[in-house]
Amino acid sequence: MIFKVENYQTLRRAVEDVSSFLSERDVPTERIFDSRLVMSELIGNVLRHAKGIATLGVEVREGFVELHVCSETPFTPPAFSRKADLYAESGRGLFLVDSVSAERKTTAEGGILVRIKIVE
């Protein structure tokens, strides 16, 4: 499943469509929530900082929800999130993404792949 996200309206629509897709594949509600958070944070960062169009790919594979986010303009977040300062805007979203993800890495294409374990 692949989406082009150009603005916050298409982001909301993509999040809803992915939620339905995951629900149809019996992904637990908690992991759907985690996926929604990851999509909102990463694509929101592309829209805010890279000022481009994001591509979102979603798969359910080998016990994981895999979310692949790419930007038309180069934008790569830091490899590691630092501990979040509750009052700071910078870095808090990436800290949340890493908190709910089993893995986050930069792909060879320059995108971000996040894997969320379906069953703990």
Number of compact structural domains in the chain: 1
Question: SS3 for 80?
Answer: coil
Cα 63 to Cα 110: distance, rounded to the nearest angstrom: 24
Would you say how long the chain is, in residues?
120
Question: How high is the pLDDT of residue 33?
Answer: 98
Instruction: Kindly report, residue by residue over 13-71, the tens digit of the pLDDT.
Output: 999 999 999 999 999 999 999 999 999 999 998 888 877 789 999 999 999 999 999 98
Say if residue 109's pLDDT is above 90. no
How high is the pLDDT of residue 3? 94
Which range of residues forms the domain containing residue 40?
Answer: 2-117
If we measure between CA atoms, which residue out of 34, 6, 3, 33 comes closest to residue 17? 3
Q: Residue 90: exposed, middle, or buried by beta-carbon count in 10 A (0-12, 13-18, 19+)?
A: exposed
CATH, residue 39: 3.30.565.10
Predicted pLDDT at 32: 98
* Percent residues over pLDDT 70 in the chain: 85
